[in-house]
Amino acid sequence: MNQRPTVADLVHPIAVALGGNWRPTPVFHGVRELDHAAILTHRSNRQLHLSERFDDPGHLHIRGLYPATDYEFRRGELDSVRVATGEAAEAIAALISGEFIDAHRDVHRRVKEHNSQQARTRQHVEERARDIAARLPGTRTRIDGVSAYLCIDLEPGTVRIGIEGDAVNIVLNDAPQIIADAVVFAVSRFLPHIQTPKGECGHLADEFTP
């Protein structure tokens, strides 16, 4: 009885059949190379993961790999390809090329664009939060991704400033209205690109805790 080829056996001839843009990469568990999993890496650094699952022996599962992200994948964007390991490498490569590579490239591009936008937003939020904190002595600051939270203890009350992307929210607890109005005015002066509508004032709430 012929022994079934392993994923490690298949990945190199599949890479060859896909053309010169893909190279096979082994997968390790510690220092041990796995024979049931491998990676195909494109010269653009896109990657496909190939594996034979323990609950589906005799079949190769191919899925796209993506950078770490909080991108919200849509229906179908994480689909995989399933094919028998007994198929010829050329047939598997044709299936990948015909059903998978273009879709993976498009999703990979969207993920990278999302990550780049998130990185710009994080930098913008951090700079904005540090600018406000530098101008308001005693401010406690917590930065969490694309959000930042600043808290100022007053006598009486507290001021909490939340920055979420391009939005700035000011929340006051047990603070006089005159302080609320002063904080709104002051923060809007620190952020000249933010327009404070005429008559806008602080409001009393407890919407978040830094």
SS (H, E, C) 96-140: HHHHCHHHHHHHHHHHHHHHHHHHHHHHHHHHHHHHHHHHCCCCE
The pLDDT score that the predictor gives to residue 171 is: 79
Average pLDDT, the chain: 84
The pLDDT score that the predictor gives to residue 201 is: 46
Q: In the chain, which residues have pLDDT < 50? A: 1, 194-210
The CA distance from 80 to 71, in Å, is 18
The CA distance from 158 to 138, in Å, is 11
The pLDDT score that the predictor gives to residue 204 is: 40
The pLDDT score that the predictor gives to residue 177 is: 75
The pLDDT score that the predictor gives to residue 190 is: 62
* pTM of the predicted protein model: 0.75
